[in-house]
A and B are shown apart, each in its own frame.
Chain A
Amino acid sequence: MAHISIKKEYEDILKSLGDIQLSIDSALRRYIIDMGTERMERCETEIRRLEQKYGLSYESFLSKIGTDSAPGFLEELSKQHPIWEADFNLWETYFEELKRWKERMRSILQI
């Protein structure tokens, strides 16, 4: 368990609310949920924008650029979106971050 110092003013108020450890845990949990939700919303907005732009989910897009499942896809994509690579980098980053936050949220909501 990590030890974190808190301001004296907070400590005094928290004491009036009951067990300090319980209050801190509850506050941190709420903070993580709020921040995680905000970050997940950000990722989801960006993922949706890219899905609309390319008309595909991230997984389908990855499969089409990385395998031979869709012959001619890369060539057509490069014609229509000559700098798709920059979008793909972003798409992957938000997709992976969303996955991480979903796992974290699942784990914290079980606590």
Chain B
Amino acid sequence: MERANEKYLADLMELIYQRFTQVQIIRQEVTPEVFILEVNCSYQQYRVVISEIVDQNGRKYAFCLLNDKNMVIVAFDNTPDRVAIELKYGKDWKRHFKERTCHQHSYDRKETMLTSEITLSDFVNWLENELEVYISNEQDKS
């Protein structure tokens, strides 16, 4: 698994250096059991936080885009957030405590929406293809 993890890390780092600027590696750990990558970087005028972890329990991720006031513009993650679990399971949500649930936080975290699992590559595609329209829609709302 360590070699697979090393290849995974190399692929992620290549993507990060290609698409983001001011890349700062906060944490990078690759052991046969655990893969951890935490990166702070920039996309256009925004700050980006990338957290990608793979361990025996599976994959954990958080990709956040923030403005200069540290406000979330958009964030994708799969934490066992109660709001996301409730959206997924409705009245039955309490039975799914601790269950990782893929979701998105909207502008200023005003809304939470369920998503499919997001990879770093998906996040980059979203930034490149959706961000402009998304920001424009948010500006129209306010």
Contact = CB atoms under 8 A, between A and B. Distances in A.
A97 interface: yes
A83 B33 CA distance: 25
Contacts of A66: 80-82, 85, 97-98
Nearest to A42: B29
Contacts of B71: 82
Nearest to A97: B34
B77 A85 contact: yes
B56 interface: yes
B60 A65 contact: no
The size bracket of the interface on B is: 20 to 34
A49 to B, nearest CB: 12
A74 interface: yes
A54 to B, nearest CB: 14
A96 B57 CA distance: 9
Interface in B96-123: 97-98, 105, 109
A80 B60 CA distance: 22
A72 to B, nearest CB: 12
A26 to B, nearest CB: 23
Contact of B64 (A65, A67, A82, A96): A82
A89 B34 contact: no
Contact of A93 (B55, B64, B80, B94): B55
Contact of B51 (A68, A82, A85, A97): A85
Contacts of B79: 65, 85, 88-89
